[in-house]
A and B are shown apart, each in its own frame.
Chain A
Amino acid sequence: MTQVEKYKKPVRILHWIHLVAFVLLFLTGLVLFIPGLGFLAEDSWTRVIHRIGAAVFIIAPLIYLIVKPKSVLHGIKMAFTWGSDDIGWIKALPAYYFKGDESKMPPQGEMNTGQKLWWLIVLVFGFLLVISGLIMWFAKTSAPPALLQWMVFIHDVSFIVAGAMFFVHIYNGLFHPLFNEAWSAIYRGTISEGYAKKHHGKWYAELSKGKE
């Protein structure tokens, strides 16, 4: 079957680097969240990894932004462009997600509504994690204790939201029967035409138009 390019190589590299950073951050953060795992954090070594992860987590997208500013703008534009099809997507989601009922699902663009939501979560909570994290990292000895405590609060709220959605993200990419080519998209960069037509109808239509 004919393959269509879904993600270019740079964005895939960014994705995988960011994923590794996030997992590191997630796991080294988790040990402070689950008392039973606290012993793993002894002597601060998880804190060192957390900071290395954080540095990658922050710097990788910044490098990508410098190298591929148009791509970033394109993505942000897509994530923030919402229309009636997105409302329709949300309405159709339960039946679609659990039963595979595609009948009410409006055709989606290059970035479907679910991906838009994921993007928004990554942008908003990533930003909150980075800001609160940086304050805790570098202003620990100078900021007022109350501020630091609220930074912990924000960091953890963001951690919970981002973490939960991260589970969804992993699940969708690896296990959900409908998204069987998501792995291909982010690993090889391509999806089949059929998959593109089915999941990104509008985008596929545009692509097809372009070809003609």
Chain B
Amino acid sequence: MADKAILYDASKCTACRGCQVMCKQWNENDEVIPTEENGVDSRNWGSYENPKDLSPTTWLKMRFTEVEENGQMRWLFTRQACMHCTDAGCVQVCPNGSLYHNDLGFVAYNKDTCTGCGYCIDACPFGIPRSDRNLLTGIAKMDKCTACTSQGYNRIEATAAEADAMYESWKGELIPACVKACPPGALKYGYRDTLVAEGRARVDYLKSQGRGNATLYGENELGGLHVMYVLEDSPDVYGLPVSPSISAATIAWKDVIQPVGWAVGGLAIVGLGLNWLVARANINKEAK
């Protein structure tokens, strides 16, 4: 089954945040009602960017960046949500496979089996997953954007082929809520290959319009992201990592420590077993 993806075009986005609100509504995520009692986070902190950060109930939020260069003002908008990496740090560190790639290529997760370890939170190069954590007991559950597929996809229990067929026949319908909500058409959903081509064409156009640094972010990053951005400038201007990578600690932990641990544990048990056989025999012999 061909991978699907979301293409976000920052050059078309007006940051109306229809996506942000629709995401909450469709996924039945609670909001923070701003009263004096429930704290500072729910108040306006001097920005259009409210709430201030992602949370277990805010899977998508728009980031606003004011840039001023040579008297030229720019107000840049970026989507902050799961990028659905192919080489996904979160999937790599998840101890029990609760995070996984679904057949569409998106990083899905099974919240029921989530252990709450939070390794994914620290392993994500984009700092996306959040957990609702009781600091004392450590009880936690991770949440993040599902591309509206993880739950729906599981719910309809469709095979990959059936899902493909459904996508073909309902094209405009079975799409993530954010994409459906987007008034200026800054979000698109479809086959990843098609969207890569569209994104490239758009970048070429922006370059021809004097945006020399325009780039298609996510085409190749981390094995190819399933949420790609058309950016008018280099990623760092938008607060995105220029070359996102799986951290050394993830690799050290996942690819070094775990195998070593297995080896050491195994060797210890085998060695001790051997010793038991050898030493018992020797000592018994001696005793005789």
Q: Which of A35, A39, A100, A138 interacts with B283 by CB under 8 Å?
A: A100
Across-interface contacts of A177 in B (CB, < 8 A) = 279-280, 283-284
Within 8 A of B (CB), among A136-184: 137-138, 140-141, 145-146, 148-150, 152-153, 156-157, 159-161, 163-164, 167-168, 171, 175-178
Contact at B113–A39, with CB atoms within 8 Å? Answer: yes
Q: Given A38-B96, A42-B113, A47-B116, is A149 in contact with B264 using a C-beta cutoff of 8 Å?
A: no
In the bound assembly, the distance between CA atoms of A35 and B249 in angstroms comes to 19
Q: Which of B115, B133, B284 interacts with A32 by CB under 8 Å?
A: B115
Q: DSSP class of B's interface residues: helix, strand, loop or mixed?
A: helix
Q: Look across to chain B and name the residue whose beta carbon is closest to the beta carbon of A149.
A: B249
In the bound assembly, the distance between CA atoms of A149 and B260 in angstroms comes to 17
Within 8 A of B (CB), among A54-109: 97-100
Contact at B261–A99, with CB atoms within 8 Å? Answer: no
**Chain B, interface size: which category?**
35 or more
Contact at B279–A44, with CB atoms within 8 Å? Answer: no
Contact at B113–A99, with CB atoms within 8 Å? Answer: no
Mark the stretch among B22-30, B118-126, B200-208 that contacts chain A. B118-126
Q: Look across to chain A and name the residue whose beta carbon is closest to the beta carbon of B114.
A: A42
Mark the stretch among B31-39, B173-181, B270-278 that contacts chain A. B270-278
| Residue B252, interface by CB 8 Å | yes
Q: Which of A48, A100, A163, A176 interacts with B137 by CB under 8 Å?
A: A48
| Residue B265, interface by CB 8 Å | yes
Q: Which of A48, A148, A167 interacts with B272 by CB under 8 Å?
A: A167
Contact at B282–A149, with CB atoms within 8 Å? Answer: no
Q: Which residues does B use to contact A, with CB under 8 Å?
A: 95-98, 112-119, 121-124, 127, 133, 135-141, 247, 249-250, 252-253, 257-258, 260-261, 264-265, 267-269, 272, 275-276, 278-280, 282-284, 286
Q: Which residues does A use to contact B, with CB under 8 Å?
A: 31-33, 35, 37-39, 41-44, 46-48, 50-51, 97-100, 137-138, 140-141, 145-146, 148-150, 152-153, 156-157, 159-161, 163-164, 167-168, 171, 175-178
